Amino acid sequence: MTAKTIFAIPLLALLCVAADRPHLERRADAAFIRGDHGRAMELYDMALQRLSRDSANCARLEVKTARLHALLQREADAILHYGRAYRMADAMLTPEDVCRYADNLRLAGDPLSAERIVRHYAFRTTYCDDRRLTNLLGSFSERQRYRDRGQDEYVVELIDEKAPRSELYDPLKIYAHIHDAPAPRELSAGQPSVSPDGSIMVATAIAGNHQDRIRSAEEIRSLYPTRIVVSYRDKHREGWGMATTLFDDRSGCSDAWPSLFDAGRSMIFSSDRPGGYGGMDLYVSRWDERLGRWGEPRNLGSGVNTGGDEICPLVVEGKLWFSSNGHEGFGGYDIYSVAFADGSPVYGAVVHCPYPINTPANDFGLIVVRGNHRFISDRRGAKGRDDVYTLRALSTSLSRAIADTTTNLQP
């Protein structure tokens, strides 16, 4: 064997290892998409082990792996990979990554590290305009003061009923949490809404996604796109008919959380379709009697929508209730209300619900079930992710005014 051959063998081995890295990542992508999450994360770790720790490609894959661990509700692993990416190339983390990194630290019981991470980014040029980071920073600095707001207005209690859990984390809060009446299986992805006469049901359904790679943060967000579906009461079968999809299929985008109002003639929902203000926005569609179909959705505008996510809309007696992580609040998702008339919000009147309804945790999804006001919160941390809470207003002028707007809701 010649000297050239001796030196060529390790060089050939290095080239084979380098060529195998993208192959491992592709295999990991395919495993994750088909639902074999454990095997997928093993393959991502193998691919990371074969990358130089100071390479941009390694930082990219660390961020991707962190996002997927966060999606799988694995706080410790998400924190580990986000931390590595942060130390390698902190600018690679997007505002959404920073929020998710901080949220996982908070859920893991380390709010001081979460505050340190947010402070590192909040005043940078490319991050300072993102209200989600501003809210998070405010929630850390006002952690003591916020508790004194509105304590005498409401009583909030954890109830025994637990929100249905998915293996996957639900960053857009789409999956079903509180069901009042049985619904067809295909309508069970999100809280359904039924018209007052009980003839129409609209809900969120998970749509198929045939991609075979996960190349970007946007693709992670759209791994499980959702559609709004409608079902009509079948009087002869005494049940619901086949669910059909509303609105055109927009590849990679999601429509979710539909809620009927105006006696079932109008519908409000969340969507990240193109043309919005960023993230999930609120849209309204009206039933067109002449054409016999739902009209083109209309964005509710910047008075309600932000660069963050607006979700879980509910219209009751002249008020729109919704949850957002883009408006000024305590951090994460908070619950808000705004005066609502003729299918549009009254600008300049968005009201942030006080403590103990809202906290620095994620608080969202206010509904009424059999006369009881309920909402979702992860204020107990990872052990109580998306618990169901009941809300009771005490007898004060403010709480009576707010309670009156939801008393007549028919779930």
Statement: residue 197 has pLDDT above 70: yes
What whole-number distance in Å separates Cα of residue 118 and Cα of residue 106? 12
Q: How do residues 226-252 score in pLDDT, each as one tens digit? A: 889 888 888 777 778 888 888 876 667
Q: Are residues 134 and 182 in the same domain?
A: no
Q: Are residues 137 and 58 in the same domain?
A: yes
Q: How many CB atoms lie within 10 A of CB 6?
A: 9
Least confident of 5-19, 252-266, 301-315: 5-19
Statement: residue 322 has pLDDT above 90: yes
Statement: residue 409 has pLDDT above 60: no
What whole-number distance in Å separates Cα of residue 270 and Cα of residue 202? 13
Higher pLDDT, residue 411 or 174 = 174
Least confident of 143-147, 325-329, 363-367, 407-411: 407-411
Q: How do residues 58-85 score in pLDDT, each as one tens digit? A: 999 999 999 989 888 889 999 999 999 9
Q: Among 109, 144, 179, where does a domain finish?
A: 144
Q: Are residues 178 and 283 in the same domain?
A: yes
Exposed (0-12), middle (13-18) or buried (19+): which is 381, by Cβ within 10 Å?
A: middle
Q: Please report whether residue 153 resides in a domain.
A: no
Statement: residue 194 has pLDDT above 60: yes
Long-range contacts of 213-218 (CB under 8 A, 24+ apart): 213/26, 213/29, 213/30, 214/29, 214/32, 214/33, 214/64, 214/68, 217/63, 217/67, 217/94, 217/96, 217/97, 218/252
Whole-angstrom distance between the N-terminal and C-terminal Cα of the chain? 81
* Structural domains in the chain (count): 2
Q: Are residues 138 and 228 in the same domain?
A: no
Phi and psi of 404, rounded to 5°? -60, -25
**Mean pLDDT, range 363-383, rounded to an integer:** 79
Q: Are residues 105 and 208 in the same domain?
A: no
Q: Please report whether residue 151 resides in a domain.
A: no
Structure tokens at 237: 């079968």
Q: Please report whether residue 369 resides in a domain.
A: no
Q: Are residues 213 and 289 in the same domain?
A: yes
Highest mean pLDDT among 34-38, 44-48, 344-348, 392-396: 44-48
Statement: residue 44 has pLDDT above 70: yes
Q: Taking Cα atoms as reference points, which of 274, 297, 273 lies closest to residue 285? A: 297
Q: Please report whether residue 207 resides in a domain.
A: yes
CATH number at residue 318: 2.40.128
Please give the model's pTM, rounded to 2 decimal places: 0.78
Q: Please report whether residue 30 resides in a domain.
A: yes
User: Positive or negative, the Cα torsion across 293, 299, 303, 304?
Assistant: positive
Please list, in sequence order, all residues whose beta carbon lies within 8 angstroms of the beta carbon of residue 116, skipping any fewer than 6 positions away: none
Q: Please report whether residue 392 resides in a domain.
A: no
Please list, in sequence order, all residues whose beta carbon lies within 8 angstroms of the beta carbon of residue 170, skipping any fewer than 6 positions away: 386
Q: Taking Cα atoms as reference points, which of 195, 200, 192 lies closest to residue 233? A: 200
CATH number at residue 93: 1.25.40.10
Structure tokens at 167: 């293996």
Q: Are residues 218 and 292 in the same domain?
A: yes
Q: Among 300, 325, 349, where does a domain finish?
A: 349
CA angle 41, 43, 49 (to 5 degrees): 105
Q: Are residues 76 and 171 in the same domain?
A: no
Count CA atoms closer than 13 A to 330's CA, side-chain side: 28
Q: Please report whether residue 49 resides in a domain.
A: yes
The mean pLDDT value of the chain amounts to: 78
What whole-number distance in Å separates Cα of residue 94 and Cα of residue 216? 12
Q: Are residues 65 and 193 in the same domain?
A: no
**Mean pLDDT, range 210-216, rounded to an integer:** 73
pLDDT of residue 132: 83
Q: Among 294, 317, 349, where does a domain finish?
A: 349
Q: Are residues 87 and 196 in the same domain?
A: no
Q: Which residue(s) pair with 152 in the sheet?
A: none
pLDDT of residue 384: 65
Q: Please report whether residue 406 resides in a domain.
A: no
Q: How do residues 275-297 score in pLDDT, each as one tens digit? A: 999 889 999 999 998 888 899 99
Chain centre distance of CA 213 = 22
Q: Taking Cα atoms as reference points, which of 152, 103, 111 lies closest to residue 132? A: 103
Q: What percent of the chain has pLDDT over 90?
A: 28
In one-letter notation, the amino acid at residue 120 is: H
Query: What range defines the domain where residue 318 resides?
Result: 167-349
Q: Are residues 210 and 173 in the same domain?
A: yes
Q: Are residues 132 and 175 in the same domain?
A: no
Exposed (0-12), middle (13-18) or buried (19+): which is 104, by Cβ within 10 Å?
A: buried
